[in-house]
A and B are shown apart, each in its own frame.
Chain A
């Protein structure tokens, strides 16, 4: 069957179940109530003064009674510095556990060592918001029989509380924890800031292990994760490589191209009609996206505009803007550098939020619904403004859905920033390889070669035109860029589906086919 974006979606996939096609960003949510019930979370009972401490991760895993076919979950706040996912799967593999469903909130390069477990049947299914590097390559080439499921950060929460993902064992990394499992990422030698993505895992997993390299006296505060959901506590030497978890502060890019794009994007925001006192704002941590914050900061100062809140993945740059009084509050679901952990711990206006409050579409309103302006990146964007952030130009899975579609759907102004080509690969396509975020939720594309407004948003276009900005029709820009780069030869795919991309509401927005290796 075709979804509303014209993508062919199978009705049923073995190992996944029946699929519901995407019908529009707010079609399903617009009903106001959801057919999917919230499943009950497991109830456990612990006796007074019973010890949760285990000597090793292995002991804790054995106590959790692992079985073939189990689902194991992780959170990715330690980014590329995480040690525990690989260690846990190695322990399960050595115990002979097979057919594991891996449900990590995201996967990074540091998880490449689990590739042999995908090949040998230890891990047979994956739910994740992102997959990169060797894993992304192997999965695109068809290492797994069952397609991986790519979800957004908000969609993951929905999947867990509606029972699409049923977690048997959750591993929660904490840079500080006590003997009962109260835990946080906001202090300790491996501090990583907000632990927002793991909160739903703690609530819903049948067994929860908190792993820390910093056991503190009871009680560990703040109670980012609270003891009433924790089964076992393990102390290890190190939960991750501190140099890769979070370092110092985030620097603004010096790339002239990124700065040019960022400056144009800031001009767009300023003239959009949404740059008003009390506006809320989210930017990514990378290149041009973060650089937009630099220009917005100057504009806020110049016009004496004070915003309401900043949301999302938080960098030191956001913290600086909070401390300058440019914004009232930060809502932090993931922290990108060391300074942020410190602010999260000490500033009461810097608030740690769980992923459910951040972006889950199945509740009475997540914070992404309140976003005015969000600036997002793209691997590819097409003439219908559909954005791909998951598959690269070479056909591998090499990105993350993350909060992209969540924030785009909530924001009054979604600005996508990207260069018009990277290397020799045009970024603006007639049709993106994989849709993650539907074009109806993207208002404007900003590239170094011009600004393209989604024609569905006439008033925005009028505002920007009146301000004298260089607007181009996205079809013209697409042709212009193709002339510079040449038209890339097509990649070849088989009929086998290796990945399905869920929209945040659980409908299927696209599928990823197996790449033919040349």
Chain B
């Protein structure tokens, strides 16, 4: 699967993360650009969270940019879920 539209969620604030997602052509694979102020300490954990969630949504052809300023795990997951749902045009509520 791939995203339908470009989408984003999150902020550049400290303790938050911003995700930007855009669709890629079929079979082009995942292009992940992750940067984090805590890359050395939590880079692997961050990468795993992203990969697992993309897997769970079956997203294979996707360009994802993450800029993290030390968000906690629940924050990362919530921001990423929101970005994915927005990009798949699935999000409910007013902030579509």
Query: Would you call A394 and B40 a contact (CB within 8 A)?
Result: yes
Q: Which of B15, B39, B73 contacts A486 (CB 8 A)?
A: B73
Interface contact A424-B71, CB-CB below 8 Å: yes
- Chain B residue, CB-CB nearest to A484: B72
Instruction: Say yes or no: A423 contacts B15, CB within 8 Å.
Output: yes
Q: Are A423 and B73 in contact, CB atoms less than 8 angstroms apart? A: no
Contact partners of A488 in chain B: CB under 8 A: 38, 41-42
Which A residues from 461 to 518 make CB contacts under 8 A with B? 484-486, 488-489, 491, 518
Taking a contact as CB atoms under 8 Å apart, the answer to whether A422 and B43 are in contact is no
**Complexed CA–CA distance, A486 and B69 (Å):** 15
| Contact residue among A395, A423, A518 (Cβ-Cβ distance under 8 Å from B38) | A423
Q: Contact at A424–B38, with CB atoms within 8 Å?
A: yes
A490 to B15, CA, bound (A): 20
How far apart are A295's CB and chain B's nearest CB, in angstroms? Answer: 25
Which residues from B are CB-within-8-Å of A518?
39-40
Residues of A contacting B40 with CB < 8 Å? 394-395, 489, 491, 518
Could you mark each residue 27-68 of chain B with 1 if its beta carbon is under 8 Å from any beta carbon of chain A, else 0?
Answer: 000000000011111111100000000000000000000000
Which residues on B sit within 8 Å (CB–CB) of A394?
40-41
Q: Is B94 an interface residue (CB 8 A)?
A: no
Q: Is A393 an interface residue (CB 8 A)?
A: yes
CA distance A421 to B47 in the complex (A): 21
Q: Specify which chain A residues have a CB less than 8 angstroms from the CB of B43 in the assembled complex.
A: 489
Residue of B nearest to A485 (CB): B72
CB-defined contacts of B69 to chain A, threshold 8 Å = 423
Q: Closest CB-CB distance, A422 to chain B, in whole Å? A: 7
A19 at the interface (CB under 8 A from B): no
Contact string against B for A residues 12-44, beta-carbon threshold 8 Å, 1 for contact and 0 otherwise: 000000000000000000000000000000000
- Bound together, the chains give a CA A423 to CA B15 distance in angstroms of 5
A423's partner among B14, B44, B45 (CB-CB below 8 A) is B14
Q: Which residues of B contact A486 (CB under 8 A)?
A: 42, 45, 73
Is A425 interfacial (CB 8 A cutoff)?
Answer: yes
A-B contacts, 6 listed (Cβ < 8 Å): A423-B14, A423-B15, A424-B42, A488-B38, A488-B42, A489-B42
Given contacts A394-B41, A423-B70, A424-B15, 4 further A-B contacts (CB under 8 A): A393-B38, A423-B37, A489-B40, A489-B41
